[in-house]
Amino acid sequence: MTLLETHGLTAFYGDFQALFGIDMEVAEGETIAIIGANGAGKTTFLRSLTGLLRNAHDAVRFDGRPIGDARANAVVALGIAMVPEGRKLFPSLSVEENLLIGGHAGRKGPWDLGRIFALFPVLQERRGAPATALSGGQQQMVSIGRALMSNPRLLLCDEISLGLAPTIIRDIYDSLPQVTDTGCTLMVVEQDINQAMAVADRIYCFQEGRITLEGRPAGLTRDRIRQAYFGV
Protein backbone atom coordinates (compact mmCIF):
# COMPACT_ATOMS: atom_id res chain seq x y z
CA MET A 1 0.00 0.00 0.00
CA THR A 2 1.36 3.38 -0.97
CA LEU A 3 2.44 5.34 2.05
CA LEU A 4 4.04 8.35 0.41
CA GLU A 5 3.61 9.91 -3.01
CA THR A 6 4.89 13.10 -4.52
CA HIS A 7 3.46 14.64 -7.69
CA GLY A 8 5.38 17.30 -9.55
CA LEU A 9 7.04 18.51 -6.38
CA THR A 10 8.90 21.76 -7.01
CA ALA A 11 10.86 23.84 -4.53
CA PHE A 12 12.50 27.25 -4.58
CA TYR A 13 14.98 29.07 -2.39
CA GLY A 14 14.06 32.63 -3.30
CA ASP A 15 14.63 32.83 -7.04
CA PHE A 16 16.70 29.66 -7.17
CA GLN A 17 14.77 26.53 -8.19
CA ALA A 18 16.03 23.48 -6.32
CA LEU A 19 13.50 20.85 -7.37
CA PHE A 20 11.88 20.44 -10.78
CA GLY A 21 8.79 18.31 -10.50
CA ILE A 22 9.73 15.26 -8.44
CA ASP A 23 7.41 12.25 -8.79
CA MET A 24 7.95 9.46 -6.33
CA GLU A 25 5.99 6.60 -4.77
CA VAL A 26 6.95 4.73 -1.64
CA ALA A 27 5.12 1.65 -0.42
CA GLU A 28 4.70 0.95 3.27
CA GLY A 29 7.52 -1.14 4.70
CA GLU A 30 9.94 -0.38 1.87
CA THR A 31 13.44 0.91 2.29
CA ILE A 32 14.28 3.59 -0.25
CA ALA A 33 17.72 5.04 -0.82
CA ILE A 34 18.26 8.45 -2.44
CA ILE A 35 21.67 9.10 -3.93
CA GLY A 36 23.11 12.10 -5.69
CA ALA A 37 25.91 14.63 -5.59
CA ASN A 38 25.97 17.65 -3.26
CA GLY A 39 23.45 20.23 -4.30
CA ALA A 40 21.36 17.70 -6.23
CA GLY A 41 18.32 18.54 -4.14
CA LYS A 42 18.21 15.54 -1.80
CA THR A 43 18.05 17.54 1.44
CA THR A 44 15.64 20.00 -0.14
CA PHE A 45 13.41 17.04 -0.97
CA LEU A 46 13.47 15.80 2.61
CA ARG A 47 12.80 19.28 3.96
CA SER A 48 9.78 19.45 1.67
CA LEU A 49 8.48 16.14 2.96
CA THR A 50 8.85 17.19 6.60
CA GLY A 51 7.15 20.54 6.16
CA LEU A 52 10.21 22.69 6.82
CA LEU A 53 9.71 23.83 3.25
CA ARG A 54 6.17 24.64 2.22
CA ASN A 55 5.04 23.32 -1.14
CA ALA A 56 1.80 22.97 -3.08
CA HIS A 57 -1.00 21.35 -1.11
CA ASP A 58 -1.28 18.27 -3.27
CA ALA A 59 2.38 17.88 -4.16
CA VAL A 60 2.95 15.48 -1.30
CA ARG A 61 0.48 12.85 -0.10
CA PHE A 62 1.01 10.77 3.01
CA ASP A 63 -1.30 7.82 3.48
CA GLY A 64 -3.51 9.42 0.86
CA ARG A 65 -3.63 12.73 2.70
CA PRO A 66 -2.27 15.91 1.06
CA ILE A 67 0.45 17.43 3.28
CA GLY A 68 2.38 19.59 0.83
CA ASP A 69 1.64 22.79 2.71
CA ALA A 70 1.41 21.31 6.22
CA ARG A 71 3.45 22.81 9.04
CA ALA A 72 6.47 20.82 10.24
CA ASN A 73 5.07 20.06 13.67
CA ALA A 74 1.85 18.76 12.11
CA VAL A 75 3.80 16.45 9.79
CA VAL A 76 5.55 14.85 12.75
CA ALA A 77 2.20 14.24 14.39
CA LEU A 78 1.08 12.44 11.24
CA GLY A 79 4.02 10.06 11.40
CA ILE A 80 6.99 11.34 9.40
CA ALA A 81 10.21 11.85 11.35
CA MET A 82 13.62 12.99 10.18
CA VAL A 83 17.16 12.34 11.32
CA PRO A 84 18.55 15.65 10.01
CA GLU A 85 21.80 16.11 8.16
CA GLY A 86 24.53 17.02 10.65
CA ARG A 87 22.52 15.41 13.42
CA LYS A 88 21.31 18.75 14.84
CA LEU A 89 21.19 17.69 18.46
CA PHE A 90 20.10 20.31 20.99
CA PRO A 91 23.23 21.49 22.84
CA SER A 92 21.26 22.70 25.85
CA LEU A 93 19.73 19.27 26.39
CA SER A 94 21.25 16.07 27.78
CA VAL A 95 21.24 12.81 25.83
CA GLU A 96 18.13 11.67 27.64
CA GLU A 97 16.40 15.03 27.17
CA ASN A 98 17.17 14.97 23.45
CA LEU A 99 15.52 11.57 23.25
CA LEU A 100 12.56 12.68 25.33
CA ILE A 101 11.93 15.71 23.19
CA GLY A 102 11.72 13.42 20.20
CA GLY A 103 8.56 12.12 21.79
CA HIS A 104 7.05 15.58 22.18
CA ALA A 105 4.36 14.87 19.62
CA GLY A 106 3.08 12.06 21.81
CA ARG A 107 2.51 9.45 19.14
CA LYS A 108 1.83 5.93 20.37
CA GLY A 109 3.95 3.04 19.22
CA PRO A 110 6.65 0.51 20.02
CA TRP A 111 9.43 3.04 20.66
CA ASP A 112 10.06 4.47 24.10
CA LEU A 113 13.12 5.43 26.10
CA GLY A 114 13.75 1.88 27.28
CA ARG A 115 13.58 0.44 23.80
CA ILE A 116 15.93 3.11 22.41
CA PHE A 117 18.41 2.29 25.16
CA ALA A 118 18.07 -1.38 24.24
CA LEU A 119 18.85 -0.50 20.64
CA PHE A 120 21.83 1.71 21.54
CA PRO A 121 23.08 0.62 24.99
CA VAL A 122 25.95 3.12 25.09
CA LEU A 123 23.40 5.92 25.26
CA GLN A 124 22.04 4.62 28.51
CA GLU A 125 25.47 4.90 30.11
CA ARG A 126 25.77 8.53 28.97
CA ARG A 127 22.14 9.49 29.39
CA GLY A 128 22.85 12.52 31.63
CA ALA A 129 25.69 13.95 29.55
CA PRO A 130 25.19 16.99 27.34
CA ALA A 131 24.35 15.53 23.98
CA THR A 132 27.06 17.38 22.11
CA ALA A 133 29.78 15.94 24.39
CA LEU A 134 29.43 12.51 22.79
CA SER A 135 31.46 11.13 19.90
CA GLY A 136 30.18 11.53 16.35
CA GLY A 137 28.87 8.00 16.14
CA GLN A 138 27.13 8.23 19.50
CA GLN A 139 25.56 11.54 18.52
CA GLN A 140 24.23 9.91 15.40
CA MET A 141 22.64 7.23 17.56
CA VAL A 142 21.02 9.91 19.70
CA SER A 143 19.68 11.61 16.60
CA ILE A 144 18.23 8.39 15.26
CA GLY A 145 16.81 7.50 18.67
CA ARG A 146 15.29 10.95 18.94
CA ALA A 147 13.51 10.53 15.64
CA LEU A 148 12.28 7.06 16.60
CA MET A 149 10.77 8.40 19.81
CA SER A 150 8.02 9.97 17.73
CA ASN A 151 7.01 6.49 16.57
CA PRO A 152 7.07 7.39 12.90
CA ARG A 153 5.56 5.38 10.10
CA LEU A 154 8.16 6.90 7.77
CA LEU A 155 11.69 7.60 8.95
CA LEU A 156 13.87 9.90 6.85
CA CYS A 157 17.62 9.63 7.38
CA ASP A 158 19.69 12.43 5.87
CA GLU A 159 23.35 11.44 5.38
CA ILE A 160 23.73 9.50 8.62
CA SER A 161 27.14 8.16 7.65
CA LEU A 162 28.67 11.60 7.09
CA GLY A 163 31.89 12.11 9.02
CA LEU A 164 31.82 8.72 10.71
CA ALA A 165 34.39 5.91 10.70
CA PRO A 166 33.48 2.82 8.62
CA THR A 167 33.04 0.56 11.69
CA ILE A 168 30.66 3.01 13.27
CA ILE A 169 28.71 3.33 10.02
CA ARG A 170 28.42 -0.43 9.89
CA ASP A 171 27.15 -0.57 13.48
CA ILE A 172 24.51 2.03 12.76
CA TYR A 173 23.31 0.41 9.58
CA ASP A 174 23.27 -2.96 11.36
CA SER A 175 20.76 -1.54 13.81
CA LEU A 176 18.38 -0.33 11.10
CA PRO A 177 16.69 -3.72 10.53
CA GLN A 178 15.39 -3.46 14.10
CA VAL A 179 13.64 -0.31 12.96
CA THR A 180 12.15 -1.68 9.78
CA ASP A 181 11.10 -4.89 11.56
CA THR A 182 8.52 -2.85 13.46
CA GLY A 183 6.95 -1.96 10.15
CA CYS A 184 8.56 1.43 9.76
CA THR A 185 9.19 2.64 6.23
CA LEU A 186 12.70 3.93 5.73
CA MET A 187 14.05 6.58 3.35
CA VAL A 188 17.81 6.99 3.44
CA VAL A 189 19.82 9.72 1.75
CA GLU A 190 23.33 8.42 1.22
CA GLN A 191 26.51 9.72 -0.36
CA ASP A 192 28.03 6.22 -0.12
CA ILE A 193 26.55 4.37 -3.10
CA ASN A 194 27.64 0.93 -1.91
CA GLN A 195 25.93 1.46 1.41
CA ALA A 196 22.82 2.63 -0.37
CA MET A 197 22.77 -0.39 -2.66
CA ALA A 198 23.25 -2.73 0.29
CA VAL A 199 20.38 -1.45 2.38
CA ALA A 200 17.70 -0.39 -0.09
CA ASP A 201 14.80 -2.14 -1.80
CA ARG A 202 14.77 0.60 -4.40
CA ILE A 203 17.05 3.48 -5.28
CA TYR A 204 16.35 6.96 -6.65
CA CYS A 205 19.10 9.12 -8.04
CA PHE A 206 18.80 12.93 -7.93
CA GLN A 207 20.75 15.23 -10.19
CA GLU A 208 20.29 19.00 -10.28
CA GLY A 209 16.80 18.87 -8.85
CA ARG A 210 15.49 16.02 -11.01
CA ILE A 211 15.19 12.25 -10.67
CA THR A 212 17.53 10.71 -13.20
CA LEU A 213 17.33 7.07 -12.20
CA GLU A 214 15.02 4.72 -10.35
CA GLY A 215 15.12 0.98 -9.79
CA ARG A 216 16.09 -2.04 -7.74
CA PRO A 217 19.79 -2.33 -6.85
CA ALA A 218 20.13 -5.64 -8.63
CA GLY A 219 18.99 -4.13 -11.90
CA LEU A 220 21.35 -1.10 -11.88
CA THR A 221 24.82 -1.15 -13.38
CA ARG A 222 27.70 1.03 -12.28
CA ASP A 223 27.66 2.84 -15.57
CA ARG A 224 24.00 3.68 -15.43
CA ILE A 225 24.40 4.97 -11.88
CA ARG A 226 27.40 7.07 -12.80
CA GLN A 227 25.54 8.58 -15.71
CA ALA A 228 22.53 9.40 -13.58
CA TYR A 229 24.70 10.73 -10.73
CA PHE A 230 26.83 13.10 -12.78
CA GLY A 231 24.46 13.76 -15.62
CA VAL A 232 26.96 12.92 -18.30
Partner 1 sequence: MDEWLNSIIQGVLLGGLYALFATGMSLIFGVMRLVNIAHGDLIVLAAYLALICVDATGMAPLTSLLFVVPVMAVIGYVLQRGVLNLTLGDDILPPLLVTFGISIILQNLLLELFSADSRKLQSGWLDTASIQLGDTIAIGLVPLIIFGVAILVIGGLQLLFYRSKLGRAFRATSDDQDTARLMGIDNRHVFALAMAISLAVVAVAGVFLGMRTNFDPSIGPPRLLYAFEAVIIGGLGSLWGTFIGGIVIGVAQSIGAKIDPGWQILAGHIAFLVILVIRPRGLFPRAVD
Q: Which positions touch partner 1 (CB under 8 A)?
A: 50-52, 71-73, 76-77, 81-82, 84, 88, 90-93, 97, 100-102, 104-106, 146, 150
CA pair distance 227, 232, nearest whole angstrom: 5
Residue 71 CB, nearest approach to partner 1 (Å):
7
Nearer to partner 1, 51 or 209 (CB): 51
CA pair distance 18, 207, nearest whole angstrom: 10
Nearer to partner 1, 73 or 182 (CB): 73
Residue 121 CB, nearest approach to partner 1 (Å):
23
By the 8 A CB rule, do 164 and 137 touch?
yes
Cα R_g (the chain), whole angstroms = 17
Q: How many CB atoms lie within 10 A of CB 115?
A: 15
Nearest to 116 by CA among 127, 130, 129, 104: 127
Residue 93 CB, nearest approach to partner 1 (Å):
6
By the 8 A CB rule, do 136 and 148 touch?
no
Nearer to partner 1, 51 or 207 (CB): 51
CA pair distance 37, 35, nearest whole angstrom: 7
Residue 17 CB, nearest approach to partner 1 (Å):
21
Q: How many CB atoms lie within 10 A of CB 185?
A: 22
Nearer to partner 1, 52 or 56 (CB): 52
Residue 187 CB, nearest approach to partner 1 (Å):
15
What SS3 class is residue 5?
strand
Nearer to partner 1, 156 or 203 (CB): 156
